[in-house]
Structure 1
Amino acid sequence: MSELSVNEAIDRIYASLKADNQDLDENIAVLKVAMADEGVKEAVFEPTKLAQNNRQGRKLMQAYFRKKGVSVSFSNA
């Protein structure tokens, strides 16, 4: 399997979220590797692409990803 960029890994996570979290843990692991390869410290997500685009949903996502070792923030766009 070829290595993905951080942006490609984030796109896969959006797809997982839309598919009721299918393969989410695997895609988080791929994102973590891509971030390490590119030297990125924080994954930035667009809130408008999230299933739960409210404060509670974003905080839940941040907490879950933090447990998996990925720091998450959200863009203003």
Structure 2
Amino acid sequence: MVGEPTVADAIERIYQSLQADNVDIDMHIATLKAALTRAGLKEAVFDPARLVQNNRSGRKLMQAYFRQRGVAVTFSPS
């Protein structure tokens, strides 16, 4: 397991990707999915304050996009 990103690492990369107009977002989602599986977690928790589109429609779009790729997303209270 050495060198495999943690859930926190994968989430951080997704924040960076979102800031960079979604560059490599699908790859980062796949990395996150694998990290969640290794950690035995069912969902990823994001801080809505760090999202580019921190509004209801932006969060719903993100949840739907990630869900299509097998990752459940929730948002921490801001």
TM-score range (shorter-chain normalised) is: over 0.9
TM-score with structure 1 setting the length? 0.97
Distance 1:5 1:40 in 2: 11
TM-score with structure 2 setting the length? 0.96
Q: CA deviation at 1:2?
A: 1.8
User: For residue 51 of structure 1, what is the aligned residue in structure 2?
Assistant: 52
User: For residue 22 of structure 2, what is the aligned residue in structure 1?
Assistant: 21
User: For residue 9 of structure 1, what is the aligned residue in structure 2?
Assistant: 10
Q: Percent of counterpart pairs with the same letter?
A: 60
Which 4+ stretches in 1 moved above 2 angstroms?
Answer: none
**Paired residues, number:** 77
Distance 1:16 1:65 in 2: 14
Distance 2:3 2:70 in 1: 22
Q: CA deviation at 1:66?
A: 0.2
Over aligned residue pairs, what C-alpha RMSD do you find?
A: 1.0
Aligned AA (1:29) = A
